[in-house]
Each structure stands twice: as structure tokens, then as C-alpha cells.
């Protein structure tokens, strides 16, 4: 039994050197969204776009906890939307490795001297757990991070974020839209997000190094807390008192995100640690308990 226990511990330690430990403890207060009519908005008329014209590198990242997925075929539930879109979609062709999972759906509106376009991707994800996601752009190259993995796509001809978007509402929305939005004719509407958001950060730099080789995932250690610095464009940590409906941007820009239809800050009821990726301490504790 002792020999087997030592072998198991060596295996666990070896694995911990290959893949970073992934668990998450929310700050205690979160933005709660019911998926029906809850949303928060930042007025375009007052604040304009989050990223200014000719922004050539950026990072958008967040921690969120989805409690359900879309209740219609196609389309997605909006998490946030303006120059970058995050959503939760039903299982999609690009992430059909496990039909029990939903998809994290992301789009970025980008420009070049010759035109503009939309880049998008889907990543498998699960409901009822905390997820970290990030989109990273630099040197015409797009990357994404999901929990403890990071990935680089190939280069595009597009080299900057778009500062003129016609086909989507221009206000910055979180969790839903003021009214049903149809991405294109004949498509299901984009609906509201049901779950919790711990923090959102927009940065004017690529905060994380992407893998050297496109198409290869590498281990990644996501930041558990977002801080504001000179490269932060917007940061909402939702640390206001419970029941607050005005959410302060902690960056120097001080934009106020307004909760609508009762959207407010509350204490999280979501589990703090992901069940399928516990820490080494937790694993060792279970080994010791089982050895008795």
C-alpha cells in the first residue's frame, strides 16, 4: 500500500509540472443575470467604443459561471458585446467532441487598410462551473485562452480593432440586449445570459504570450484577480454592495455600467472550485484519506 501511494503521489506531482493547477475562488460578489430580461449597458452616445480607433493589440478577459444555455436552436446567449462579442452557444460543429458541453462563442470585429471583417471561433465549455476566457490579438494574430489552456490561430490580413460597426447595436452590453437582436436574416435571436460574472477586463495590450506554433494548445495559468494599470481600458470587478445597479469601471476611464430590469450585484452561490480540476493540495488530501 505504501509503495502504491508513493507511485500515485509521484504521478500527481509529474502531472502538476506539465499542466498548471486550475481552480477558482470568486471574490464573493458577482453580477447576477437571470437570462430573461436582465442586462447591463454602457451608452455609446456617452462613452463611444471601448477600444479607440487604430488599436492594434488588445486582450478581453473575464470569469463567468453559466447556469444554462440557449433554449433555441442556433444563436447564442450574449455575455458581452460591442467590438468583441462573447456568448454561450449550443453545441457547435467546431466543439462537438462532447455533446454534453456548450460552446464559448467569440467574435472580434477587425479592420485593415483595405477593408474589415469578423473573426470568430467556438470552444467547448461546461455549465455550472467557473470558466476563465480571454481573446488576445497582436501582430495580426488572434489567440484565445480558456481556463488552463492557451491557443494561437494563424495570421490574418486584419491588423486593428474596428471602430465602426454597423450591423450590431453600438452600446456596450453585458448579459443581454435591450431588445431581441437577430444576427442575420432568418437566424434565431441572440438571447440573454443566465449565470454569474465575477470580473471583466479590457486591455490595450496583448497581456499573455501565445504559443509559438499556431494550432497547438499549451498550458496556461489564468489570473484569478484583475487589477487596473496603465494599459487597462475598462475593468469591472462588481465589488459594489449587494443590490447595487451601477457598476464602477476601475480603470482611469471611470465608465459606469448600468444594470437594467433589476440587474444587480449579489453574493455568489456558485461552487468555488471546479470539480474536475482540483488543486494538488486537495488531491494529496484525498490520497491520504483513502490510505487510512
CA distance 64 to 62: 6
pLDDT at residue 167, rounded to an integer: 59
pLDDT at residue 115, rounded to an integer: 82
pLDDT at residue 179, rounded to an integer: 66
Do 175 and 31 meet the contact criterion of CB atoms below 8 Å apart?
yes
Burial of 183 (0-12, 13-18, 19+ CB in 10 A): middle
pTM over 0.75? The answer is: yes
CA distance 127 to 195: 9
CA distance 156 to 64: 29
Question: In terms of Cα–Cα distance, which of 240, 61, 261, 65 is closest to 143?
Answer: 61
pLDDT at residue 186, rounded to an integer: 47
Of the CA atoms within 13 Å of residue 128, those in its CB half-sphere come to 4
pLDDT at residue 282, rounded to an integer: 27
Question: In terms of Cα–Cα distance, which of 69, 27, 70, 25 is closest to 267?
Answer: 27
Question: In terms of Cα–Cα distance, which of 56, 55, 50 is closest to 138?
Answer: 56
Cell digits of residue 284: 494529496
Q: Which domains does the chain have, with CATH numbers?
A: 1-21+278-292 (no CATH), 24-276 (2.60.120.200)
Number of residues that make up the chain: 292
Residue 216: DSSP 8-state: -
What residue has cell string 467556438?
A: 122
Cα-Cα-Cα-Cα torsion 194, 73, 95, 25, nearest 10 degrees, comes to 10
CA distance 260 to 221: 34
Q: For the packed helices 280-291 and 2-18, what is the interaxial angle rounded to 10 degrees?
A: 170
pLDDT at residue 100, rounded to an integer: 56
pLDDT at residue 96, rounded to an integer: 60
How many other β-carbons are positioned within 10 Å of the β-carbon of residue 88? Answer: 26
User: Could you tell me the mean pLDDT of each successive run of 10 residues in the chain, 292 residues long?
Assistant: 44 42 73 92 93 94 91 77 89 60 87 86 86 95 94 90 77 83 53 92 97 93 94 96 95 95 84 43 29 30
Amino acid at each position: 500500500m505504501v509503495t502504491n501511494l508513493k507511485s500515485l503521489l509521484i504521478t500527481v506531482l509529474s502531472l502538476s509540472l506539465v499542466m498548471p493547477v486550475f481552480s477558482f475562488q470568486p471574490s464573493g460578489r458577482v453580477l447576477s443575470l437571470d437570462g430573461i430580461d436582465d442586462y447591463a449597458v454602457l451608452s455609446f452616445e456617452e462613452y463611444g467604443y471601448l477600444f479607440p480607433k487604430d488599436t492594434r493589440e488588445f486582450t478581453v478577459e473575464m470569469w463567468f459561471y453559466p447556469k444554462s444555455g440557449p433554449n433555441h436552436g442556433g444563436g447564442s446567449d450574449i455575455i458581452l458585446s460591442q467590438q468583441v462579442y462573447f456568448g454561450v452557444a449550443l453545441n457547435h460543429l467546431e466543439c462537438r467532441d462532447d455533446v454534453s458541453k456548450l460552446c464559448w462563442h467569440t467574435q472580434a470585429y477587425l479592420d485593415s487598410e483595405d477593408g474589415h471583417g469578423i473573426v470568430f471561433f467556438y470552444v467547448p465549455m461546461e455549465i455550472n462551473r467557473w470558466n476563465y476566457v480571454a481573446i488576445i490579438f497582436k501582430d495580426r494574430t488572434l489567440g484565445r485562452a480558456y481556463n488552463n489552456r492557451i491557443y494561437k490561430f494563424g495570421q490574418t490580413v486584419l491588423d486593428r480593432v474596428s471602430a465602426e460597426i454597423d450591423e450590431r447595436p453600438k452600446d456596450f452590453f453585458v448579459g443581454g440586449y435591450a431588445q431581441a437582436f437577430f444576427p442575420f436574416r432568418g437566424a434565431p435571436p441572440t438571447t440573454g445570459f443566465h449565470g454569474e460574472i465575477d470580473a471583466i477586463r479590457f486591455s490595450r495590450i496583448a497581456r499573455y504570450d501565445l504559443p509559438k506554433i499556431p494550432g497547438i494548445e499549451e498550458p496556461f495559468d489564468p489570473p484569478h484577480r484583475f487589477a487596473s494599470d496603465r494599459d487597462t481600458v475598462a475593468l469591472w470587478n462588481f465589488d459594489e454592495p449587494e443590490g447595487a445597479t451601477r457598476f464602477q469601471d476601475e480603470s482611469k476611464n471611470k465608465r459606469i455600467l448600468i444594470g437594467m430590469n433589476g440587474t444587480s450585484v449579489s453574493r455568489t452561490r456558485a461552487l468555488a472550485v471546479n470539480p474536475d480540476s482540483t488543486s494538488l493540495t486537495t488531491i494529496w488530501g484525498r490520497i491520504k484519506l483513502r490510505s487510512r
